[in-house]
Structure 1
Amino acid sequence: MSYEMIGITVLWLFLFGYIIVASIDFGAGFFSLHAKLFGESKKVNGLIQRYLNPVWEVTNVFFVFFFVGIVGFFPDTAYYFGTALLIPGSIALILLAARGAFYAFENYGQDSKLSWLMIYAVSGLLIPAALSTALTISEGGYLIRTSNDHVDLNWVALLLSPFGWAVVLLSIVSVLYISSGFLTFYAARAKDWKAYVLVRKWFLMWGAPMIMVSLFVFLSLRVQNKTHFDSAVFEYGWLFIISFIAFLIAGMLTYLKKAHGIAFLFVMIQMGTAFFGYGLSKLPYLLYPYVRIDHAVTNDNMAVGLIIVFVLGLVLLLPSLALLLKLFVFDKAYVRGRK
């Protein structure tokens, strides 16, 4: 396997880890606001806070690794995406700062005001929506390289793009789907049956929109980038079939109120196979038609050094996260609110 393939594989693993961990966090904020507005806070807020308190500080570590790595491995991405993502990236950073402020007020303040909770909830949906524009732009047709070697973004085309809005909608629905799936498992483990009834209903409710929006993304991708669409369907379609089967298994187990841990494992398999199917079918391009992994990769010595550093980072990060989950999130006494 070439250096660029090893590099993009490691980076894709970091990005997938961020998608799962951050989605649980982002969706939990929305569900907290929903419960407060409908007078159901007492049912779920304790469960959500027990998960977030030990985990929220490490959520963005995965994203930082990916961001640093993608620029380190493939420097051309900084050149092309730098201008294009200036506005959505800035919005995402501001919203991340707002979420950090909420955590501070929540943990150390006198009370939790509705206004802060609304910022926390809305930012959890807007951050993935803003970041998802990178995937839209990477499909080509939005960046224009001028004769003087300057890169411009066609904002009108981006704002009017059906594919772009489909990706934004998928990012929001995915957050709510993943988060409700995890909270269902977490509530069952905590034997918090009031919360369980509510979050299980949310998970089952978001299942159908998840599939419908995913199908819409596929159909709009055919118009946006037929080469990528054909590769996804004819070369890696088996990964998306596995994803759909995993979706059915997760939904059936949850509907039958059985094996919620296995159900959430299938949710991760569902998202992972679809995510890697998307990534593999796009190769060798990172950004159509300008950036290819076999042309934009850094020199061999730098690539080897980055691979070693990021593999070691992955080796350290995953056991650390597993230990954190074991000591707090999945500890029987902690998860049931006894400590």
Structure 2
Amino acid sequence: MIVAAIIVLALIVYLLTGGADFGGGIWYLFATGERKDAQRRALTDAIAPIWEANHVWLILVVVLLFVCFPPAFAAIMTALHIPLTLMLLGIVLRGSAFAFQSYSAGAHRLERRSARVFAIASVITPFLLGICAGAIASGDIRRLESGAIDTNFISEWLQPFPFAIGALTLALCAFLAAVYMTVEADTAPLKDDFRRRALWSALATGACAFAAILLAMRDAPLVWTGLTNARWAIPFQLITALAALLAIAALWTRRFHLARTAAALQVALILLGWALAQFPYLVYPDIRITEAAAETAVLRPVLIALALGSALLLPAFVYLYKIFKPGPSAHTAPSPDEAA
């Protein structure tokens, strides 16, 4: 159970960091207005120092799933190998394109093409990640008595519910990026540009979440039951809704640091709610956490390695963010609303 909880925590951190990077690519693609170039420069400056490090959390999830829950890893990688392969391709293309764009050395044609690939991959990749999450929760990935996976490689994910979760993931990434940029941007006009995008993406997130929960009633009964009938469901939903309303209110009143905290809490709670609703399954309905777990002789060294690795990794991440994300620039005066 401890390793499964760590996987969920790593997914949450990945969405809050790497997901926001994907969202930055989304807004790079849809930059508009007279400050379009300034918006893109601000997004590039915000993403550049940390985007590679943020993928550590996804790598951690994959490694823990492979080592500690091999039956679940095999089921997911077999049934969902098409969207997962496309997602991996998107991650590679996105990173490569961003590097080419950053080091184009005045080759404008290469820079434009790299920027286009970066932006398109930033849209496709989180959408595919959400599709995979929706397929895992839908109950259509089945394991035969022999242990083989009963799949045609398409029907498990090419359905309305996984696509609704894909759209929700895309909206969440766009929302996080826009909210974060209200703090990262160094001029008031740019902050207002991203504030408007954050408010619109908050509405899109709500609409996608509503569609997903309606589809879950038919296509993901375990998630529907967990989010509506469990003892923790109503308090949890209320707390999540309050975080969402607080983020919107803070954006509306231009309290951007508060909005960032509330938005991160909202997204973390949404992902945590998905995990709690699916408990005790890793892949519903055939693979439970306890049944898929490796032997204690494997799990114990993994936990020791995680503890030792965290002692090195977490301070390094804190130092990285302290250097490259120190907060508002010293020369940037806060708005009257923020100062209040």
| Residue 177 (str. 1) matches residue 172 (str. 2) | no
Q: 1:214 offset after TM fit, Å? A: 0.7
Other-structure match for 2:48: 53
Deviations 1:296-315 (A, max 9, x none): 11111211111222233344
Count of aligned pairs between the two proteins: 327
Say whether 1:256 aligns with 2:253.
yes
Inter-CA distance 206–49: structure 2 relative to 1 (3 Å threshold): same
Q: CA deviation at 1:58?
A: 0.4
Asked whether 1:83 is paired with 2:78, we answer: yes
Match of 2:244 in 1: 247
Q: Please list every run of at least 4 consecutive aligned residues from structure 1 whose deviation after the TM superposition is greater than 6 angstroms.
A: none
Q: Say if 1:98 and 1:120, in contact at 8 Å, map to a contact too.
A: yes
SS of the residue aligned with 2:294?
A: coil
Aligned counterpart, 1:320: 316
Pairing partner for 1:309 from 300, 305, 311: 305
Partner in structure 1 of residue 217 of structure 2: 222
Deviation at 1:29, TM superposition (A): 1.4
- One-letter amino acid of the counterpart of residue 133, structure 1: I
Task: Measure how far apart 1:334 and its partner are.
Answer: 8.6
CA distance in 1, matches of 2:19, 2:311: 22
Q: Which amino acid aligns with 2:262?
A: F
**Structure 2: segments with no counterpart, 5+ residues:** 333-340
CA–CA separation in structure 1 for the residues paired with 2:292 and 2:304: 19
Query: More displaced, 53-62 or 126-135?
Result: 126-135
Q: How does 1:325-336 map to 2 (within 5 A)?
A: 325-330=321-326, 333=329
Q: Deviations over 1:34-67 (max 9, x none)?
A: 22x6553333233222212211120211100111
Any gaps of 5 or more consecutive residues in structure 1?
A: none
Residues 157 and 86 of structure 1, relative CA distance in 2, 3 Å threshold: closer
* Cα offset, 1:140, TM superposition: 4.2
SS where residue 132 of structure 1 aligns? helix
Following superposition, the deviation at residue 13 of structure 1 comes to: 0.9
- 1:293 corresponds to: 289
**Identity percentage of aligned residues:** 22
Counterparts of 1:239 and 1:329 in 2: how far apart (Å)?
31
1:328 shift after superposition: 1.6
Aligned equivalents of 2:331 and 2:55: distance in 1? 23
Q: Does 1:106 align with 2:104?
A: no
Distance across 2 between alignment mates of 1:269 and 1:315:
24
Q: Aligned-pair distance for 1:149? A: 4.6
Match of 1:135 in 2: 133
- Give the direction of change, closer, same or farther, for the CA distance of 1:43–1:134 in structure 2 (3 Å limit): same
CA contact (8 A) 1:284 1:292 kept: yes
Give the C-alpha shift of residue 114 in structure 1. 2.7
1:120 corresponds in structure 2 to 118
Matched ranges for 1:183-202 at <5 A: 183-187=181-185, 190=186, 192-202=187-197
Contact 1:50–1:329 under 8 Å retained in 2 = no
1:318: Cα distance to partner?
3.0
Kept in 1, the 8 Å contact 2:79–2:156? The answer is no
Q: SS of 1:286's equivalent? A: strand
Structure 1 residues 102, 307: closer, same or farther in 2, change over 3 A? Answer: same
Pick closer, same or farther for the CA change 1:239–1:154 going to 2, 3 Å. Answer: farther
Question: Any idea what SS the aligned residue of 1:139 has?
Answer: helix
- Displacement of 1:16 in angstroms is 0.7
Amino acid at match of 1:241: L
Q: Shift of the alpha carbon at 1:144? A: 4.1
| Matched-pair contact (CA < 8 Å) for 2:138–2:221 | no
